[in-house]
Chains A and B, each alone.
Chain A
Amino acid sequence: MAGQSDPHISLFSAEEVEFMAEDELIEIVPNMRMDPLNFICGDFGPFLPQIASQVPLWLAVALKKRGKCAIRPPQWMSVENLTRVLEGERESQGAFQVLPFHYVEISRLLFDHAREDIPDMYMVRSLIEDIRDVRIHKVETSLEKFSGTSAVKIPNLSAMEVNIIRPFVGRALQAFYKHDNPEKIPDVDRASSAQTRAANNEPRRQLRR
């Protein structure tokens, strides 16, 4: 049964993770006047020119696309902070730096739709890509240290990172668990093939030397 699941397919698609991230609040500076919006997902506004306001990311992007606002990149997206985070990631092999849970999706949406609002856009993008790479590499390295275990703690992992490592880590831990506790998880495939062999009572084929 384990063979049915495809380790290359994540439980959530990248679009689904992005859909989750679109509720994160972000600051915009409108260039128009608009009454408050009473949405199902919450109340936002009123909007006044040059007065900053907090809105969900999807609304910020929608207004930005229509040329109605500038998006203020969050503080963690500054070159200084990202440089510090990258250094921290490189220095500490065991721990992950604190970043927003949806840092990958937020930054990608802003790069796609609000590039002129991000100071040093290319530097910021390159730093975030480096941070992503270092973190993923760190996760992979830490996976090598897993042994038979029933719980693993990983602080400060982000949504996209969890989604990427989930299929592999799940299967790896399941395999460790299975080998440590053979009595707990019956191996259906092996049990049935063993039965078949016993029933047939055929001599085993000689292995080629």
Chain B
Amino acid sequence: MASGAGEWSAEQIDDYETLISTTDVVLLKRAWRNEKASPEILPFEEALVKRAKEQIQLMEETVDDFAESGHDPLIASLYQMDLEGSIFAEILSSGSAAEGGLLILPIEKFMFHIWKMDTYRNRLSIEEEKFTERTVLSKLPDNYQSVLKQSIISEEDDMVPEPQLDTFVVAKCERATRPLYLDGSRQSASFDSRQFAILTSNKTITIHLAGMTTFKWCLEIYAFCATGHFKRN
């Protein structure tokens, strides 16, 4: 076993151990945190939310069985707590309006911008897309049917508040990065895994934040959105 492990770098072993020990609940919480802290809408994690929903459904059945079979009430209550925590994480991260998700707030704030940009629109879940249709499109009076223009006399899209993406984010690095050229090419900085990096989310960084597949060097975003501050309630 030792010789096998010797072929792996310490970083790979760390990665592997992190992967096998990361449960969906952890991933859900991370998705919620990232979405809430990011200045822009991140891709909806459909597979993860679907998987979590199935697990929750199975667990609900198990908990019901416990109650009916007169199982040890201690064990039943512990499973119930696990279930409630998972449901809460799922609701937070799925953000769908139907389930009272909290992430509908950023969607609502920049609704028209998201609607206008295919890239962002594609990141919405089906429920979220339905939500934007219901809340916005159905309420507009006849003369103001366009979601992009203030009225029928507007010649260009003049009703689209856009999120401020050129803002600062706090990111916790997953592993050491190569030097990143921030803010054009004036200065470069590299980060190690213990560091919190507070970065301008300029275009270079936004690419990293936007696609989860390229989201390699940031473990989590702890963003400040100086101008797009997402608040609960």
Report if A13-B198 is in contact (Cβ < 8 Å); known contacts: A23-B25, A39-B79, A41-B26. no
Say whether A103 faces chain B, with CB atoms less than 8 Å apart.
no
Complex formed: what's the CA distance from A66 to B33 in Å?
Answer: 31
Task: Please classify how large the interface on chain B is, using the bins under 10, 10 to 19, 20 to 34, 35 or more.
Answer: 35 or more
The A interface, classified by DSSP as helix, strand, loop or mixed, is mixed
Say whether A130 faces chain B, with CB atoms less than 8 Å apart.
no
Whether A153 lies near B25 (C-beta < 8 A) is: no
Q: B residues 28-52 with Cβ under 8 Å of A?
A: 29, 33, 36-37, 52
Please encode chain A, from 57 to 74, with 1 for each CB lying within 8 Å of some chain B CB and 0 for all others: 011001100101000000
Say whether B168 faces chain A, with CB atoms less than 8 Å apart.
yes
Chain B interfacial positions (CB closer than 8 Å to A)? 21, 23-26, 29, 33, 36-37, 52, 55-56, 59, 72, 74-75, 77-79, 81-83, 85-86, 88, 164, 166-168, 170, 182-183, 186-187, 189, 191-192, 194-200, 202, 222-232
Offer 16 A-B interface pairs, CB within 8 angstroms, sorted by A: A9-B229, A35-B75, A37-B78, A39-B82, A40-B24, A40-B25, A40-B55, A66-B74, A98-B194, A151-B198, A166-B222, A166-B223, A167-B224, A170-B167, A173-B168, A185-B166
Chain B residues with Cβ under 8 A from A41's Cβ?
Answer: 23, 25-26, 82, 85-86
Chain A min CB distance to B87 (Å) = 9
Whether A174 lies near B182 (C-beta < 8 A) is: no
Chain B residues with Cβ under 8 A from A68's Cβ?
Answer: 74
Whether B196 lies near A150 (C-beta < 8 A) is: no
Q: Which of B26, B55, B77, B168 contacts A174 (CB under 8 A)? A: B168
Task: Please classify how large the interface on chain A is, using the bins under 10, 10 to 19, 20 to 34, 35 or more.
Answer: 35 or more
Chain A interfacial positions (CB closer than 8 Å to B)? 1-2, 4-6, 9, 11-13, 19-20, 22-23, 34-35, 37, 39-42, 58-59, 62-63, 66, 68, 98, 150-157, 162-163, 166-167, 169-171, 173-174, 177, 184-185
Chain A residues with Cβ under 8 A from B24's Cβ?
Answer: 40
Whether B225 lies near A170 (C-beta < 8 A) is: yes
Whether A153 lies near B196 (C-beta < 8 A) is: yes
Whether B168 lies near A155 (C-beta < 8 A) is: no
Whether A155 lies near B227 (C-beta < 8 A) is: no
> Most A CB atoms within 10 A — which of B77, B195, B196, B230?
B196
Whether A150 lies near B85 (C-beta < 8 A) is: no
Whether B23 lies near A174 (C-beta < 8 A) is: no
Q: Which of A154, A171, A185 contacts B224 (CB under 8 A)? A: A171
